[in-house]
Structure 1
Amino acid sequence: MPHDGLWGIGELAERAGVSVKTVRFYSDGGLLPEAARSAGGHRRYGPGSLERLRMIRSLRSMDLPVSVVRRVLDEEDTAGRAGGALEDAVAAQLRTLGTHLRALRWREAALRSVQECPAAERPARLRLVGAVTAPPDTGPLARFWRGWLPPRMPARSVTAFLDVAVPQPPEDPAPDQVLAFAQLYAMVSRPCDQNAGPTQPHAHRAAGARESAVLYAGLAEAYGLAATEMRQDREPCPGQALDAFVDAYTSAGTTADTPGFRRVLARQLAADPRIDRYWELTAELTGPPGGPPEPTAGAAHDWLRAALDAEAEAARS
């Protein structure tokens, strides 16, 4: 250290292991204030500059922008230590890094999906998985369901249903899961066929805000009960799950639960449009690789419909 306790820009750069250009850049930007100027106009830096420069380099090594580095240093100057600004910066950087890592894992699985399919199918597979962003956006799936649900359904009920119906892509997907999501994306993104007939279940057509809220709250309960039965490999049959399923429709329509109503409901459900492929792909996407699929809302609905049909068949026997 010179007799005046100050370093020149070259000395500081050498001790910090950086170039003079780097020191000058941070100094000109106000991150590394100079203590004085020599008689010849050269910059001079105080004893705390070395540690400050090392702090700047550490923050920049984490890819923190200069504006964030400035906030961290300002807080350290004011409070005598790095605190909330540094904590927020690290947390934000971790979130950004997590997004980048998820995108890389998704791209790797997408490329493996292309690599592992037959050579003749690779161009089509590439177009299919390449249409999906990485990490994937579930917005198109949510928009699909918003068009399917009753138009007057309360926002809270819509949100609750979307939480169940819109699958969240796995953090570390297998190639088959990337393919399933890409197929889901293609399915909900294609233009609607205006000549394909009704696109919503019969119960939706006259459902107001109250009726749709009651209906979907009841269906959620019934689906949960049916899923428990399905996990135990039980065949569709009358019971608590079916009663809850029928009750969802009777409560929404203020109709009594009678054998006649159940027969009418079975016929209406049989005529409703079906989106089995959506639920099949959802099961592939959310289930453990190589393991049994977790029951989806669609699978539970089909189980309950089959239970309703089985009950009707038993009554006719």
Structure 2
Amino acid sequence: MDGGTLYSIGDLARRTGLTVKTVRFYSDRGIVVPAGRSPAGYRLYDIDAAARLDLVRTLRELGLDLATIRRVVDRELALPEVAAAHADALAVQIRTLRLRRAVLTAVAERGSTPEEMELMHRMAKLSENERRVLIGDFMDAAFGELQTAPAFGAVMRSMTPELPDSPGAEQVEAWVELAELTQDLGFRAAVRGLAREQVAERTEGGPALVRRDLAAVVRDEVAPALAAGIAPTSHRADPVVASLAVHYTHITGRHDDAELRRALVSRLESLNDPRRERYLRLLAVINGWSAPASLAPVLDWSIEALRTRMRR
């Protein structure tokens, strides 16, 4: 194109793919300035005006407002900085839209009431910081001063939900249910009781700090008995019960007697709280972890086996 050629509004509109009305709009606002006038007094534009209009059209399609566009084309703002800022803003909008889609999908799948939908949307759209405050409050209430114990660092991490920026419908549902569960005062007290028992056992057991936790031992010892069809009341279950008792003596530093077995039953009943298992399942969904295997069958078996022998 000849750099000295001047174009009417109609010519400029055809070159840029804009309407005459749009070109005039930008011209009236000083975003595109005429290079001169025709003998009849009509505005004429040079090649720079066409280039500016191409840039304006692109920026408008990307969602920039006119005030920002004018500063960009006038070079008051660096285009890379403006692009970065708007890319960040678009990322927030995309996350918001994905979250809304997840909420609506969850509502459609579960047939929620308007009240449930409102709760789901309100809980799901909490900012990351607000979610951390909510979970932090639960951790403080459940663990209190125990959080400073070195052994509890991994426990805290393993119980902390991290809702992703673009959650699926299932993750939104799980987050809402988990958030409600953390407000259950009874559940908080139960978790705190479990934590205190665990700390007490490790303190009393001394060297047992390196041993596996009780839930893992019960799973490993009892699962084979269950698979073999051994009833908890059967004499064939005696070696398994004895093994559980021996392990508990190791982690508590106490002798195997009636008192220890009563304490073991109480400990297993605490572990068998269905709210605890539900929390762990919801946590796995939210964090994208593999679903944990249910401990309820082995815990039920162990409790019945111990109680049967305590009555003999």
Q: TM-score range by the shorter chain?
A: 0.5 to 0.7
Range 105-114 or range 32-41, more displaced? 32-41
**Equivalent in 121, 132, 156 of residue 133 of structure 1:** 121
Distance 1:198 1:10, change over 3 A: same
Post-superposition offset of 1:295: 0.4
Which of the pair is proportionally richer in helix? 2
SS of the residue corresponding to residue 201 of structure 1 reads helix
The equivalences for 1:178-193 within 5 A come to 180-189=174-183, 192=185
For residues 85-234 of structure 1, what are the structure 2 equivalents within 5 Å? 85-86=82-83, 89-90=86-87, 92-114=89-111, 125-133=113-121, 135-137=124-126, 138=131, 140-141=134-135, 143-151=137-145, 153-154=147-148, 161=156, 164-166=159-161, 168=163, 171-173=167-169, 180-189=174-183, 192=185, 200-201=192-193, 203-204=195-196, 222=213
Unmatched segments (≥5 aa) in structure 1: 115-121, 212-216
Checking the alignment, whether the CA contact within 8 Å between 1:102 and 1:171 is kept in structure 2 is: yes
Number of equivalenced pairs:
277
Higher Rg = 2
SS in 2 for 1:101: helix
Q: What's the Cα RMSD here?
A: 5.8
Supply the distance in 2 between the matched residues of 1:147 and 1:262 (Cα, whole angstroms): 29
Quick one: which of 262, 267, 270 aligns to 1:269?
267
Amino acid at match of 2:115: R
Provide the rounded CA distance (Å) in 1 between the counterparts of 2:145 and 2:75: 51
Percent of paired sites with the same residue = 18
- Determine if contact 1:12/1:45 at 8 Å carries over to the other structure: yes
After TM superposition, the score normalised by the length of structure 2 is 0.56
Unaligned runs of 5+ in 2: 204-208, 228-236
Q: CA deviation at 1:133?
A: 1.5
CA contact 1:202–1:268 (8 Å) conserved in 2: no
Equivalent residue for 1:118? none
Paired with 2:125 and 2:224, the residues of 1 have a C-alpha distance of 33
Aligned to 1:117: none
Alignment TM-score, normalising by the size of structure 1: 0.55
Higher mean C-alpha deviation, range 21-30 or range 98-107? 21-30
